[in-house]
Amino acid sequence: MTSTVIIPAFNEEGRIENVINTVRQANDVSEIIVVADGSTDNTPAIAESLGAKVVRHQRNLGKGAAMLTGSAAAINENLLFLDADVSTFTAEDINKITDKLHDGYDFVKTHFQRDSGRVTQLTVRPLLKRFFPEVFERFPEPLSGQIGITKSALNSVVVARDYGVDIALLLDLYKKGAKIAAVEINWLKHRHHDLARLHNMALQVSREILARIDDAIFTSGKSAVSDELSLVKG
């Protein structure tokens, strides 16, 4: 069974070539889709020149929306989503993800060493440790955008349209009892974002976590969680 690699991209003309060339070296990938999410630079033209299928949004709709567009355009059941702004990602890393999908996993979450992750360390992991300890223990990089997922699993949940998509997928599929693997991949280097963008990312991912904290599946008791929140609000 082959896989489709989907790369949501917003003005990534300086990075998209490296990502596509890395994907082309991987095993069992028969399709590469770049979702130009409102890009106004040469991202679509570069991607097409390298043989990728390009799907365009007329305006920037957000990461989750781009993921859904890419999934709808994909011919394969097994999907890999890769960030367009990462370097040091390797074909071997892609193979690790596709191997797990071939083994029957519904969702493959990656973890790695990297030189950033401020939203993860300062916002997401503290919330997960307190309210979703099982997820905290199993998935060190809950916001990793390098994931594998079956189209069936993706279509089984409501997909957030913005940066909240990664944590929402993890929590909802964990709740549904999906077969989830965590795999370690190469050290990654992301583009650094300014504080304004990090602020928006933190708001979006926090929204998805907070929307789920009263779920008894993840907590020792709904009333205990509600009581603690009441104390915080007070």
The string of pLDDT tens digits covering residues 126-144 is 999 999 999 999 998 898 8
Q: What is the average per-residue pLDDT within 197-224? A: 72
CA–centroid distance for 226 within its chain = 29
The answer, yes or no, to whether residue 177 has pLDDT greater than 80, is yes
| Residue 22 structural domain | 3-233
Structure tokens at 205: 């991912």
Q: Which of 15-29, 63-77, 103-117 has the lowest mean pLDDT?
A: 103-117
Structural domain total, the chain: 1
What pLDDT was estimated at residue 112? 75
Q: Provide the CB-side half-sphere exposure for 44 (13 A, CA).
A: 12
Res 215: pLDDT: 61
Round to whole Å and give the CA distance between 17 and 135. Answer: 34
The 10 Å Cβ neighbour count of residue 170 is 24
Q: What is the CATH number of the domain that holds 114?
A: 3.90.550.10
Q: Is the pTM of this model over 0.75?
A: yes
DSSP states of the chain: --EEEEEEESS-TTTHHHHHHHHHTSSSEEEEEEEEES--SSHHHHHHHTT-EEEEESS---HHHHHHHHHHH-SSSEEEE--TTEES--HHHHHHHHHHHHTT-SEEEEE--BS--HHIIIIIHHHHHHH-HHHHHH-S-TT-S-EEEEHHHHHTSPPPSSTTHHHHHHHHHHHTT--EEEEE---BEEPP--HHHHHHHHHHHHHHHHTTTT-TTTSS-HHHHHHHHHHHH-
- What would the pLDDT profile of 40-81 be if each residue is shown by its tens digit? 999 999 999 999 999 999 999 999 999 999 999 999 999 999
